[in-house]
Amino acid sequence: MCSERRLSGGSPRSFRLLVTGGGTGGHTYPALTAVRTMRDRLSAEGRALEVLWIGTAEGLEARVAPAEGIPFATVATGKVRRSSNPLKMLSAANVKDMAKVPLGIAQARKLVGEFLPDVVLATGGYVAVPAGLAARMCRRPLVLHEQTVRLGLANRQLASSATRIAVSSESSLPLLPEAVRGVAVVTGNPVRPEVLTGRADKAVEGLGLTGFDRRLPTVYVTGGAQGAQQINGVVGDALEWLLERANVIHQCGPDNVSGLRQLVGGLPGALRGRYHLTGFVGGELPDVLALADVVISRSGAGTLAELTALGKPAVFVPLATSAGNEQVHNAWHLEKVGAAVALVGDVSADRLKNAVGPLLTDPARRETMGQRAREHGRPDAADRLVDVLLSAAAG
């Protein structure tokens, strides 16, 4: 049942936001940034924000929400394992997981009915489906946020129930089902504010980059928190060539440091000084990005949002197995407008050299690509999304 009773203890001036979505950082961190931005906005108006996050026990959100002091609840849900063969979609694992969805919807409906949010924000991931459907059943405004160029599977399933659909790019609008384009708005993908405030000199000092030649451009290589074997491999094969032309900060993943360190041992001393190898980049990331002249990375939605907001030239090596091939679409989208280079398919050291070489030797080319990236960046995306949430709640 969708109760009309509000939970006790809330201020009459408080605003209630229910967040659902997660599984990965791409779905979790935009939601967290939106929560923080809304909290700040309402606090400035003398209002409180109450938040309930519905996710899965296994997803990143199960750690992120409690660490932020956000009440967290789980519901039963099932993961769809995609395949180009429709018969494989009827696998035993898919059928078993889909059987959990009705229970998850009932659990979500109870949570929504008790919390009675002013608005529900769904950021994708299969856990968003039960809570999004429960929002419709309880007649709560539902705002979807899509981080990638094309709607993800969960958001496609919820699109017809949405009050608003917030997308990250203008190019997403014609890809939406025609029936829901009227409720779509371009907000961008929320970027953590601290990412935009980095200082290059702090990176040099904090990481001890004393061997860097500041007359040369700096390349930041990253494969995400765990690293990317594909990127590590091609960068390793091209490393001496890269270091003859640039300084390199290489975030390779904690498990990959020793192998790459052995590779560096055979390089001339001057080139070794231009190479900083690290398993993980944490709080120093804003400063590393400020120092970087070129970024070599995967093309996840969060990475795109940060690099375009900063106006950084990038060479993208998309993860070919990403859901719905979204990383390839993301990379192609920016390459088409001259804001990045996309290396799709089999990537070799020679292909990497051909892509990054002109950016290292031509500052004007870097500047042009950076400017085009900046034109597609939305550093105010979190504020735009909060505007949409408040508007949807107001009716």
Q: How far apart are CA 365 and CA 388, in angstroms?
A: 37
Q: How far apart are CA 317 and CA 345, in angstroms?
A: 9
Residue pLDDT, tens place only, 114-161 = 999 999 999 999 999 999 999 999 999 999 999 988 888 899 999 999
Residue 373 has pLDDT above 60, yes or no: yes
- At residue 89, the pLDDT reads 45
Residue 93: band (very low, low, confident or very high) from pLDDT cuts 50, 70, 90? low
Rg of the chain over CA atoms, in angstroms?
A: 22
Q: Which helix (H) or strand (E) holds 13?
A: none
Residue pLDDT, tens place only, 271-313 = 999 999 999 999 999 999 999 999 999 999 999 999 999 999 9
Residue 97 has pLDDT above 70, yes or no: no
Q: What value does the mean pLDDT take over residues 46-51? A: 97
Residue 363 has pLDDT above 80, yes or no: yes
Residue 88 has pLDDT above 70, yes or no: no
Residue 92: band (very low, low, confident or very high) from pLDDT cuts 50, 70, 90? low
- At residue 166, the pLDDT reads 98
List, as one string, the DSSP characters of 120-174.
EEE--STTHHHHHHHHHHTT--EEEEE-SSS--HHHHHHGGG-SEEEES-GGGGG
Distance from chain centroid for Cα 357: 27
The mean-pLDDT minimum among 9-23, 209-223, 350-364, 367-381 falls in: 9-23
pLDDT, averaged across the chain: 91
13 burial (CB, 10 Å; 0-12 / 13-18 / 19+) is exposed
Residue type, 122: A
Q: What value does the mean pLDDT take over residues 204-208? A: 96
Residue 90 has pLDDT above 70, yes or no: no
- At residue 2, the pLDDT reads 75
Residue pLDDT, tens place only, 225-257 = 777 889 999 999 999 999 999 999 999 998 889
Please tell me the pTM assigned to this model.
0.86
Q: What value does the mean pLDDT take over residues 163-190? A: 95
Residue 163 tokens read as 């009050």
* Cβ contact 182:161 at 8 Å: no
Q: How far apart are CA 320 and CA 6, in angstroms?
A: 46
- At residue 330, the pLDDT reads 92
Residue 248 tokens read as 């390199």
In terms of pLDDT, which residue wins out, 113 or 92?
Answer: 113
Residues β-bridged to residue 291: none
Residue 14 tokens read as 């408080």
Q: How far apart are CA 275 and CA 211, in angstroms?
A: 8
Residue pLDDT, tens place only, 7-35 = 444 445 699 999 999 998 889 999 999 99
- At residue 9, the pLDDT reads 46
- At residue 3, the pLDDT reads 61
In terms of pLDDT, which residue wins out, 325 or 249?
Answer: 249
Domains and CATH numbers, the chain: 15-191+379-394 (3.40.50.2000), 193-375 (3.40.50.2000)
Q: How far apart are CA 32 and CA 386, in angstroms?
A: 12
Residue 5: band (very low, low, confident or very high) from pLDDT cuts 50, 70, 90? very low
- Residue 312: name the closest of 232, 187, 221 by CA: 221
Phi, psi at 298, each rounded to 5°: -65, 175
Residue 282's CB is within 10 A of a number of other CB atoms, namely: 8
* Cβ contact 120:143 at 8 Å: yes
- Scored b (16 or more CB within 10 A) or e, 224-249 reads beebbebbbebbbbbbebbbebbbbb
